[in-house]
């Protein structure tokens, strides 16, 4: 029987949850880096003992850690995230231009093609790459130097590059998402970038059909069909069938099309999950009911998944990196909340249980299926 490792980043440390394939009993290890904001931790798909951690602190700044033994011990890696060349300027809320300033690492994405390659998405929005396991970093500056760069501006959480997706067979193709700029694709390993926002409409910006300026919250894809992308936007759930060249809304019968997370089932490329949130002002579940919604048709129709989830007086949020799926034969789905719970389903969302409670606010959830 194989194992399961769930990696949880919180406002005050990292936690590692382990179980077997049945996923009924869990061991909780942590906190690692107690008291520190752990924006993201993620394991390598090619070396299951290797885990990367992004730690952010108002006192000590940004720190990257790496474990090569599944989280038993940690080493601090190079943290010199320096923008390449002249930083330039980007747009602020009031329309003025501000210099690019590095704040923190939002997302770490170990490569599916090379065990020593890992990407980092940072605030202010930029993409970095390491080819030596995080020992050193270099900016893929073609993104930030895109012609539209001066038009990018912060969302409510900052101007962050929070999503990085690799094409499963073409290492030259990457997708990224930036709040609040939109989604971008490279087909040459990061040298040049194409905004892929056609079909997105955002009433919050002066030109709601603009090429950039859209507040994309998350992207996901299925490795067996990597030209089909799914997006949770500030408002609207979207789908693209042509690698982002065009988008169609698939919010359907959701109680709210605002939310942060979106994930694709491990074995069913058209089965996707979202967690509707009431609005961009009230970051709580509609009607105080925490519901994960599942579509088996790529977003055309949605069903509420509630068995085991709180259905009254629940006012937590689920942040953009706080949902993950495992690839056991019976696909598991995991959701972390700002109330400190991690809910898990080992039957594709049909039923849920809290595998841990009362953690600090959960910022990210990732999962590894272990041999």
- Long-range contacts, stretch 287-290, CB < 8 angstroms, 24+ apart: 287/255, 288/312, 288/313, 288/314, 288/315, 289/314, 290/314, 290/316, 290/337, 290/343
Report pLDDT for 108: 98
Q: How confident is the model at residue 170 (pLDDT cuts 50, 70, 90)?
A: very high
CB-CB contact of 317 with 336 (8 Å): no
Q: Where are the beta strands (DSSP E) in 68-159?
A: 75-76, 89-91, 97-99, 104-110, 118-123, 126-130, 138-139
CB-CB contact of 164 with 119 (8 Å): yes
Nearest in space to 100 (alpha carbons), one of 181, 188, 206, 204: 181
What number of other Cβ atoms are within 10 A of residue 136's Cβ?
Answer: 13
CATH 3.90.1420.10 fits 3-370, yes or no: no
Structure tokens at 16: 């590692």
Q: What angle do CA 48, 116, 327 make, to 5 degrees?
A: 30
Distances (CA, A) of 31 to 23, 28, 336: 21, 9, 16
Q: How far apart are CA 91 and CA 196, in angstroms?
A: 20
The DSSP call for residue 341 is: -
Nearest in space to 230 (alpha carbons), one of 290, 174, 274, 277: 274
Q: How far apart are CA 366 and CA 332, in angstroms?
A: 12
Structure tokens at 102: 């590095």
Q: How far apart are CA 359 and CA 77, in angstroms?
A: 26
* 3-state SS assignment for residue 194: strand
**What rounded mean pLDDT belongs to the chain?**
94
Q: What percent of the chain has pLDDT over 70?
A: 99
For 214-237, how does the pLDDT look when each residue is reduced to its tens digit (9 = 90+)? 999 999 999 999 999 999 999 999
CB-CB contact of 284 with 277 (8 Å): yes
Report pLDDT for 86: 65
What number of other Cβ atoms are within 10 A of residue 80's Cβ?
Answer: 10
Q: How far apart are CA 29 and CA 43, in angstroms?
A: 16
Report pLDDT for 288: 96
Residue pointed to by tokens 């942590």: 30
User: Taking phi first (over 0 means left), then psi (-120 to 50 degrees means alpha), and beta for anything else, what does residue 148 get?
Assistant: alpha
For 250-303, how does the pLDDT look when each residue is reduced to its tens digit (9 = 90+)? 999 999 999 999 999 999 999 999 999 998 889 999 999 999 999 999 998 999
Q: Is the overall model pTM greater than 0.75, yes or no? A: yes
Which letter, b or e, does each residue of 309-318 get, where b requires 16 or more Cβ atoms within 10 Å of its Cβ?
bbeeebebbb
Nearest in space to 55 (alpha carbons), one of 4, 12, 86: 12
Q: How far apart are CA 151 and CA 204, in angstroms?
A: 14
Q: How far apart are CA 70 and CA 142, in angstroms?
A: 34
For 300-347, how does the pLDDT look when each residue is reduced to its tens digit (9 = 90+)? 899 999 999 999 999 999 999 999 999 999 999 999 999 999 999 999
């Amino acid at each position: 029987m194989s194992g399961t490792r769930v990696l949880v980043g919180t406002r005050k440390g990292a936690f590692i949850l382990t179980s077997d394939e049945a996923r009924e009993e869990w061991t909780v290890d942590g906190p690692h880096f107690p008291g520190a904001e752990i924006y993201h931790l993620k394991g390598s798909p090619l070396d299951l003992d290797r885990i990367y951690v992004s730690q952010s602190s108002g006192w000590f700044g940004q720190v990257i850690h790496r474990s090569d033994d599944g989280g038993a011990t940690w080493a601090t890696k190079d943290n010199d995230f320096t923008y390449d060349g002249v930083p330039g300027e980007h747009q602020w809320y009031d329309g003025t231009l501000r210099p690019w300033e590095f704040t923190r690492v939002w997302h770490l994405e170990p490569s599916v093609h090379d065990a020593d390659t890992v990407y980092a998405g940072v605030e202010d929005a930029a993409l970095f790459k390491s080819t030596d396991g995080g020992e050193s970093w270099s900016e893929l500056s073609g993104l930030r130097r895109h012609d539209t760069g001066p038009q990018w501006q912060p969302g409510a959480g900052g101007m962050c590059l929070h999503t990085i997706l690799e094409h499963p067979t073409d290492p030259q193709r990457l997708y990224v998402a930036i709040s609040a700029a939109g989604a971008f694709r490279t087909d040459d390993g990061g040298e040049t970038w194409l905004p892929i926002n056609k079909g997105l409409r955002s009433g919050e910006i002066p030109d709601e059909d603009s090429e950039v300026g859209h507040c994309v919250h998350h992207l996901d894809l299925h490795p067996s069909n990597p030209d089909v992308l799914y997006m949770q936007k500030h408002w609207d759930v979207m789908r693209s069938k042509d690698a982002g060249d065009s988008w169609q809304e698939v919010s359907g019968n959701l109680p709210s099309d605002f939310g942060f997370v979106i994930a694709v089932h491990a074995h069913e490329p058209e089965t996707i999950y979202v967690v509707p949130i009431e609005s961009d002002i009230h970051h709580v579940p509609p009607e105080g009911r925490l519901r994960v919604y599942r579509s088996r048709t790529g977003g055309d129709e949605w069903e509420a998944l509630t068995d085991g989830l709180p259905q009254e007086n629940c006012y937590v949020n689920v942040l953009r990196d706080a949902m993950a799926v495992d690839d056991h034969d019976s696909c598991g789905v995991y959701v972390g909340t700002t109330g400190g719970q991690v809910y898990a389903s080992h039957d594709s969302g049909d039923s849920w249980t809290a595998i841990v409670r009362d953690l600090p606010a959960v910022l990210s959830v990732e999962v590894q299926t272990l041999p």
